[in-house]
Amino acid sequence: MPDLFNTDREQAEPPGRPLADRLRPQSLGEVVGQEHLTGEEGVLTRMIRSGSLGSMIFWGPPGTGKTTVARLLAGETGLAFEQISAIFSGVADLKKVFEAARLRRANARQTLLFVDEIHRFNRAQQDSFLPVMEDGTVILVGATTENPSFELNAALLSRARVLTFHTLDEDSIGKLLERAEATEGKRLPLDDEARAVLVRMADGDGRASLTLAEEVWRAAKPKEVFDANVLQEIVQRRAPIYDKGQDGHYNLISALHKSVRGSDPDAALYYLARMFDAGEDPLYLGRRLVRMAIEDIGLADPQALIVANAAKDAYDYLGSPEGELAFANACVYLATAPKSNAVYTAFKSAMRAAKEHGSLLPPKHILNAPTKLMQQEAYGKGYLYDHDQPDAFSGQDYFPERMGRQKFYDPPDRGFEREIKKRLEYWAKLRAERSGK
C-alpha cells in the first residue's frame, strides 16, 4: 500500500476514471467484508485450492463486490472472463457468448460467464443457460440483488450454488476509505463525527462510500474540514437502498409487523420511520397497521382497529408530513396494546371446518319459515327467542346436527378478552345446566 501522503505515482491514472474503479481489489485477499467467501477458509478460497469451480449465483446488495469477485475468480483459475448484463442483453447476445465459449472449449480453455442482474432474464432466457452449464461450455456466475428463490428458475438454481454477499459493515467501509486516502495521497477533510456519518450514509455499499468520498474531495477548499452538518449539505446523502416491490420492502414491513407483535414500540417506530424515509406508499403502511390490529390484537383491545383506521383517515386529511405522526401514534398504540390472535386462529379453524363439512343444513329450529311448505317441514319449530329466556340466553345448539357443537374461539386471559372469557364461561355453565349435562 502506498504511503498515505506520497502523491507520486508509478503510473498515471487515465483522467476521469472513478475512484471505485481504480480501487478494485487485485486479489481475493483484498476484498473486504466478505471474509466468509474470500477469507483464508472462505468458500471461494477452498474452491480455488481444489482447482475446480462450479456454477454459482452471487446474491447480495449493490456495492458488495459481486462483479469484482467474479473477475478475480476467473483470473486466479485461468478461465476466460466474459461479462454480460441482463438489462442490455437478449437471446442473440447469449448465442454469441455461448458460441465463443464453445470455440474456447475446443481449444481446451473454459469460460467463466458473469451475468449481472441475472434475475432480469425471463424464464425462457434463464432456461437457455442450462445446456451450456451441463456440458461444461461455461461456468456461470450470476449476480442478483433479489432473492434467487423467487426470481430464478428452479432448474437453474439446482445447477448452481447460491453464495450470499453481505452488506459491508462500518469497519469494512472504513478500510475502503483508508485505501482511498492512501491512493489519493491525502486525508478526507472530515472531522471524526462527519467521517462516521459518511460511513453510515454509504448504507453498506462499498462503491457508494468511494463515490461519496470523491464528492467530498471535490467540494473541499484547501485546509477546509467539514463537520457532519456541512457534509450532509454537500452530498445530500444517498437514498436508502429500498425497492418497493422487492426484498427491501418485504424485509422492513416484516420487521415492523414483528416489532408491533412483540410489543416493542421503539423498534416499531424505527422501522416505520425507515419505510417513510425510503418513500413507501403511506396507504400501504396504513393497510398493514389495520392488518396488525386485526391479526395480532383482535378483541384483546377492540379500540386498536379504530385507532388504526383513524390514523389512515387522519393521513388522508392532513397529508405529509403531518399525517405521518398519525401513523406513529397508531404504531405505538398497537405495539403497547394487549395481544391476541384468538379470533384469527378461530376464523382459520372455522374456515377449515366449513371446507371439510360441506353444505350442511343448519338445524331446522333456527331456519325461517315464510311459506306453508316450510312450516310443514318443521322449519323454525322449537326455536327459543333468546330475549324471552332467563338471562336472555336460551343455550340452544346452532350448529348443523350432523356436525355437532364445535369450539373454535378460545380467548386468552388478557386485555378485553378477559371479560369475553368470563362471558363465555358463564354461558357454557348455563348451557350445561339447561341441557341437564
What is the per-residue pLDDT for 294? Answer: 95
Tens digit of each residue's pLDDT (9 = 90 or more) over 93-129:
899 999 999 999 999 899 999 999 999 999 889 999 9
The model's pLDDT over 346-400, given as tens digits with 9 standing for 90+, comes to: 999 999 988 888 888 898 888 888 888 888 888 889 899 999 999 999 989 889 9
How much of the chain exceeds pLDDT 70, in percent? 93
For the chain, where do the domains classified as CATH 1.10.3710 start and end?
A: 356-435
Task: Assign a CATH topology to domain 170-235.
Answer: Helicase, Ruva Protein; domain 3 (1.10.8)
pLDDT at 8: 44
Q: Looking at domain 34-164, what is its CATH homologous superfamily? A: P-loop containing nucleotide triphosphate hydrolases (3.40.50.300)
At the topology level of CATH, where does 247-336 sit?
Zinc Finger, Delta Prime; domain 3 (1.20.272)
Note the helical H segments in 148-298: 148-151, 154-158, 170-184, 192-201, 206-219, 228-235, 247-261, 265-277, 282-292
Domain with CATH 1.20.272.10 in the chain: 247-336
Q: Give φ, ψ of 425 to 5 degrees.
A: -65, -40
Residue 38 bridge partners (DSSP)? none
pLDDT at 202 over 90: no
| Predicted local distance difference test score (pLDDT) of residue 292 | 96
More confident residue, 16 or 289: 289
What pLDDT does residue 14 have? Answer: 57
Where exactly does CATH 1.10.8 map onto the chain? 170-235
> Could you tell me the pLDDT band of residue 18, with boundaries at 50, 70 and 90?
confident
Which tens digit of pLDDT belongs to each residue from 208-260? 899 999 999 999 888 899 998 888 888 876 545 555 555 667 888 999 999 99
Domain(s) labelled CATH 3.40.50.300 in the chain stretch across 34-164
What pLDDT is stored for residue 98 in this prediction?
94
User: Quick check: 3 pLDDT over 50?
Assistant: no
The per-residue pLDDT for range 124-154, each reduced to its tens digit, is 899 999 999 998 899 999 999 888 888 899 9
Q: What is the mean pLDDT of the chain?
A: 88
Mean pLDDT of 53-69: 92
Q: How far apart are the first and last CA of the chain?
A: 88
Mean pLDDT over 200-209 rounds to 88
| Residue 245 confidence (pLDDT) | 54
How high is the pLDDT of residue 273?
92
**314 vs 319: CA distance, rounded Å:** 8
Tell the CATH topology of 356-435. post-AAA+ oligomerization domain-like (1.10.3710)
- Cβ neighbours of residue 234 closer than 8 Å, sequence gap 6 or more: 215, 216, 219, 226
pLDDT for 251: 85
pTM: 0.63
Return the residue matching grid coordinates 469460460.
111
d(CA 167, CA 175): 14
In this prediction, residue 9 has a pLDDT band, given cuts at 50, 70 and 90, of: very low
